[in-house]
């Protein structure tokens, strides 16, 4: 496992249902010592019990890679390249699983694309974890659903067996591109939902907003990575969009809500002290869409608020005339 946040902690909890021991890369030695002493991650999901006798925790990424056949990456996309800069050993013959929702490096690549292009890992050895699922509810053992995606259905089904338990139901999938792009896009629309909530828009408008967000995701995926077998009304796409746009646990919605209430981008980021992935995804999607020129008024509105510092109330008012 690579990562120390909420999702990493939740996935460790799930993996310990099936694995005798896990190698876990964390950047902070003090955090490792606290987990060893308390059996809890004091910074994320504090209620989750983490058996220190079954966790080989280290600040050495290369040690984790060398001693693991399957590596789960769960760092925020904004910190991913910095983490990978510490890697000195080969990833040859390793199976990579990404739980990262966003783009990495200056080429706006998804995590699967990055490992394929930079480390020559075939898509046969890459898996993607998607929702709809919040780490907080996993920690409380509330019934949740995960989609495990890989190039081959039989591999995806094998991944499902690794993460499933009494309170986690799993679904296999093969649409790596669609799931990764949809996961990044839904964070942008969750920011939009938060902004509108902060501005005082009600449930009636929110329903229209999320419906249009779904159509924008569909238009983007069909234009950039068409797949005749993709069913966008399933949980990995529509479900993930809905839970991220509506849930109290959504960091992106919370971030947007603060912007709607008058916070600046910088002050909202500072007060949250957590990464809202949609902030970075907004810039990446804006750059990618310069090539495709897909009509995405909600994504464009969020970009204008985040990066062009446009006044949220004005931008959203203009947006209302473009929705249907």
CATH number at residue 229: 1.10.1040.10
**In the predicted model, what is the mean pLDDT of residues 169-195?**
97
Gap between the Cα atoms of 307 and 324, Å rounded: 26
209 and 107 part of one domain: no
Long-range contacts of 313-320 (CB under 8 A, 24+ apart): 313/199, 316/195, 316/196, 316/199, 316/201, 320/205
Q: pLDDT tens digits for 247-288?
A: 999 999 999 999 999 999 999 999 987 789 999 999 999 999
Residue 105: the pLDDT is 87
**Residue 186 annotated as catalytic:** yes
Gap between the Cα atoms of 54 and 268, Å rounded: 38
Residue 101 lies in a domain: yes
Counting Cα atoms < 13 Å in the Cβ hemisphere of 91 gives 22
Catalytic residue among 30, 37, 120, 186: 186
Q: Could you list the residue range(s) of the whole structural domain that residue 104 is in?
A: 6-174
120 and 149 part of one domain: yes
Exposed / middle / buried, residue 136 (Cβ in 10 Å: 0-12, 13-18, 19+): middle
Residue 312: the pLDDT is 98
Last residue of a domain, one of 174, 193, 227: 174
Gap between the Cα atoms of 236 and 36, Å rounded: 35
Residue 188 lies in a domain: yes
Q: pLDDT tens digits for 25-56?
A: 999 999 999 999 999 998 899 999 999 999 99
Gap between the Cα atoms of 59 and 50, Å rounded: 17
13 and 124 part of one domain: yes
Cα-Cα-Cα-Cα torsion 203, 208, 276, 242, nearest 10 degrees, comes to: 80
Last residue of a domain, one of 174, 201, 233: 174
157 and 202 part of one domain: no
């Amino acid at each position: 496992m690579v990562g120390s946040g909420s999702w990493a902690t939740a996935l460790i909890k799930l993996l310990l249902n099936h694995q005798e021991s896990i190698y876990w890369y964390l950047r902070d030695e003090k955090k490792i010592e606290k987990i060893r002493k308390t059996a809890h991650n004091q910074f994320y999901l504090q209620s989750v019990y983490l058996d220190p006798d079954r966790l080989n925790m280290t600040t050495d990424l290369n040690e984790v890679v060398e001693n693991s056949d399957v590596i789960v990456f769960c760092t925020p996309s904004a910190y991913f390249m910095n983490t990978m800069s510490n890697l000195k050993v080969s990833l040859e013959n390793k199976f990579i699983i990404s739980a990262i929702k966003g783009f990495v490096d200056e080429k706006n690549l998804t995590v699967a694309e990055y490992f394929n292009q930079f480390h020559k890992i075939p898509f046969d050895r890459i898996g993607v974890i998607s929702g709809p699922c919040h780490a907080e509810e996993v920690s409380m053992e509330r019934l949740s659903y995960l989609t495990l995606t890989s190039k081959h259905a039989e591999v995806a089904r094998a991944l499902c067996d690794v993460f499933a338990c009494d309170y986690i139901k799993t679904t296999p999938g093969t649409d790596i591109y669609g799931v990764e792009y949809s996961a990044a896009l839904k964070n942008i629309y969750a920011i939009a939902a938060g902004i509108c909530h902060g501005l005082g828009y009600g449930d009636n408008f929110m329903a229209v907003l999320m419906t249009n967000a779904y159509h924008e995701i569909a238009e983007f995926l069909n234009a950039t990575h068409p797949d005749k077998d993709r069913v966008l009304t399933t949980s990995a796409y529509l479900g993930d969009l809905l839970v991220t746009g509506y849930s109290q646990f959504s960091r992106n919605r919370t971030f947007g809500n603060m912007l709607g209430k008058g916070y600046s981008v910088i002050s909202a980021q500072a007060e949250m002290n957590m990464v809202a992935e949609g902030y970075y995804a907004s810039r990446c999607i804006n750059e990618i869409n310069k090539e495709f020129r897909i009509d995405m008024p909600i994504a464009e509105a969020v970009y204008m608020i985040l990066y062009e510092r446009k006044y949220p109330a004005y931008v959203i008012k203009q947006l209302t005339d473009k929705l249907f």
